[in-house]
Amino acid sequence: MTLPPNRPERDTDWIDRALDDLAAMPVPDASGDLMARVLGDAEALMPPPGGVQAVRIPLWRQIVQGLGGWTAVGGLVAAAATGFVVGLGGFDTTGTDTIWSLGYGTFYEGEGALAAFGWDFEEG
């Protein structure tokens, strides 16, 4: 990079000259030994013909990845389990059918008897 003639000297013009001096220094051609070393490295590191084979991922891992990873799968499992339990008890929203199915019928009978006792008492 040469400076234009008749231009006033700037503070950094000497830096231009210093850099140009560095750029103009003779540089030897790359030696045959260097080229051979570089080619040797290239051959040692060269992937097999066709390139690096894609790693085969098992189907179940592809599905997990497709669903968003293990965290997402955990959430899905928890949601499914909750839905199953809620679904089991869903045929009676008060939950009494579930309680009946578990054998608590005597409790309701006792409650009924107590109510009847109350009516009897009021009627004298």
Partner 1 sequence: MPLDTDPQTDDAALLARYARGDAAAARTLTVRLVPRVQAQAMRMLGDVAEAEDVAQEAMLRLWRIAPDWREGEAQVTTWLYRVVSNLCTDRLRKRPRSRVPLEDVAEPEDPTPSVEAKMQTDARRDAVRRALADLPERQRLAVMMRHFEGASNPEIAARLGISTEAVESLTARGKRALAQALKGQVSALGYEG
54 binds partner 1 (CB under 8 A): no
14 binds partner 1 (CB under 8 A): yes
52 binds partner 1 (CB under 8 A): yes
Phi/psi of residue 89, nearest 5 degrees: -95, 5
Residue 3 near residue 16, CB atoms below 8 Å: yes
Q: What track of x and - describes contact with partner 1 for positions 81 through 110 (by CB under 8 A)? A: ------------------------------
Identify the residue among 5, 6, 7, 42 touching partner 1 (CB under 8 A). 42
Interior/surface letters 35-65, b for 16+ CB within 10 angstroms, e for the rest: eeeeeeeeeeeeeeeeeeeeeeeeeeeeeee
Distance between CA atoms of residues 72 and 15, nearest Å: 61
Length of the chain: 124
Identify the residue among 4, 8, 51, 118 touching partner 1 (CB under 8 A). 51
Place of tokens 């085969």: 56
Nearer to partner 1, 48 or 103 (CB): 48
Identify the residue among 43, 111, 120, 122 touching partner 1 (CB under 8 A). 43
Nearer to partner 1, 49 or 118 (CB): 49
20 binds partner 1 (CB under 8 A): yes
For 107, the token pair is 């409790």
Identify the residue among 17, 65, 90, 101 touching partner 1 (CB under 8 A). 17
